[in-house]
Amino acid sequence: MSYVIKYILLNVLGPLIPHPKLRSCYLRLLGAKIGHRVRIENVRFILIQGEISNLQCAHDVFIGSGVTIDLSARLSIGRHAIVSPGCSLITHQDFGEFNGNAMARHYPKTYAPIVIGDNVVIGSDTTVLAGAEIESCTVVGAKSLVRGRLAGNSLFVGAPARFVRKLSAES
């Protein structure tokens, strides 16, 4: 499928779908792997040269309005996860190789998957970078920057996201 067609399907027609559950069904029809009872609000897709099937959501996922989703590499979201409004899920790094930016020699273009575990909550306006893994039962505070691996059953906040405390069933 060409870039232009994917852009129209994802970023022009997708937002016209009136209900988040219907939008999930629409993305499933386009090739995304979407589980049951997934709610995807109005989101924006970037780097859609990647496959639509790179988007993989388990059952009972919520993705809020204004989330930016990069389809360069796989984005896997576990059961009952919440991606709050305004977040960015970025599966690539490119310092301008395409336009000759000198920094691209020092920071080569990379693509890496993002894995979000089960029962994760990602606070509003958080950025999750390529290669990040957020283990199950983790809370990431609003406006955080996630890179690398965040341990499960924990609370992380800040830019970069730093460990605050372990979470228990009573928390």
User: What is the Cα–Cα distance from 146 to 43, expressed in whole angstroms?
Assistant: 20
Position 170 scores a pLDDT of 56
157 forms beta bridges with: 162
Q: Region 90-112: what's the mean pLDDT?
A: 85
What's the pTM value of the predicted model, to 2 decimals?
Answer: 0.91
- Per-residue pLDDT band for 168 (boundaries 50, 70, 90) equals confident
pLDDT per position as a tens digit, 35-50 = 999 999 999 999 777 8
Tens digits of per-residue pLDDT, 26-35? 999 999 999 9
What pLDDT score does 148 carry? 96
How many Å apart are CA 1 and CA 6, to the nearest integer?
7
Question: What domains, with CATH codes, occur in the chain?
Answer: 3-149 (2.160.10.10)
Contacts of 117 (CB under 8 A, 6+ apart): 78, 81, 133, 134, 135, 136, 137, 138, 152
Backbone angles phi, psi at 6, to 5 degrees: -60, -40
